[in-house]
Structure 1
Amino acid sequence: MPLTDSNEFKKKLCHIYNEVSKELFGFGTILLKATIDNNMVTFQARHRRSPRSTALEGEAPSLKYEVDFYMSSIYKKRIREKLEQDMGLAIEAVLRDYDPHTQWAITNIIVVDNERTTE
């Protein structure tokens, strides 16, 4: 499925992003915006702070950092699977950066550019 820069398409993308968030963390995002530029989808998301995360931060900061890293890796895997299955997108790469102090995450989804692959 080609990327379409329409509100309806972006709503579907955001819905899937929030589904994955709810599946992994138990709740969705506070703020979420999807933008599309050529063959890239960018999600700008502010996540809710988990009570478990706050507890770990005070008692075992290095463990919290490690958990954040692994949860972000799992998030990338799940968002790829859902977007490929539910939206029919052929994904080349999922890049995600998460700042645990502010709870902001930027996720870039690079979709296979069919024109580039046929050259």
Structure 2
Amino acid sequence: MPSLGDFKQSLIKDYNDINNRIFGIGVIRQKVNVFGDKLVIIAMHKRVPALGYLSELNSNVSELADHYLIKGFKTEFKTLLEAKYGFDVVSLFKDYDAKAELSATVVVTKKDVCDYL
């Protein structure tokens, strides 16, 4: 049974691995907090240069690209949480502020996160 600290370190690595696979860039820093049945991850990202350039040309297209990349991330992250950690994920929310290069991910589980550890 891993400690909460070990779990957080493992989750940070997994989050960064998925981010690298999808965006080709890892996160600069991230923090994982657990609040009962919720995981909250705040991460500082480096914007994918091509999306920054695309945003200057056509912000609608870059917003659409961001939407689908985030959707793919959510699918992969939820699959990982269920397969690797055995979580029963009720819902997963993720948003990204391109200007601030910050994302927030909230995972709601059926029971207290520490009950899965």
TM-score by length of 2: 0.88
One-letter code aligned to 2:59: P
Q: Which residue of 2 aligns with 1:80?
A: 78
Q: Which residue of 1 aligns with 2:28?
A: 30
- 2: distance between equivalents of 1:89 and 1:13? 12
Q: Which residue of 1 aligns with 2:66?
A: 68
Q: Tell whether the 8 Å contact from 1:45 to 1:105 is kept in structure 2 after alignment.
A: yes
Q: Tell whether the 8 Å contact from 1:33 to 1:44 is kept in structure 2 after alignment.
A: yes
Alignment map for 1:1-119 (pairs within 5 Å): 6-113=4-111
One-letter code aligned to 2:80: K
* Structure 1 unmatched runs, 5+: 115-119
Deviation of residue 66 (structure 1)? Answer: 0.8
Q: Tell whether the 8 Å contact from 1:16 to 1:83 is kept in structure 2 after alignment.
A: no
Q: Tell whether the 8 Å contact from 2:25 to 2:48 is kept in structure 1 after alignment.
A: no
Q: Tell whether the 8 Å contact from 1:5 to 1:36 is kept in structure 2 after alignment.
A: no
Deviation of residue 72 (structure 1)? Answer: 1.2
Displacement over 2 Å in runs of 4+: none
TM-score by length of 1: 0.87
Deviation of residue 45 (structure 1)? Answer: 0.5
One-letter code aligned to 1:99: D
SS of 1:93's equivalent in the other structure is strand
The percentage of aligned residue pairs carrying the same residue is: 23
Q: Tell whether the 8 Å contact from 2:27 to 2:44 is kept in structure 1 after alignment.
A: yes
Q: Which residue of 2 aligns with 1:117?
A: none
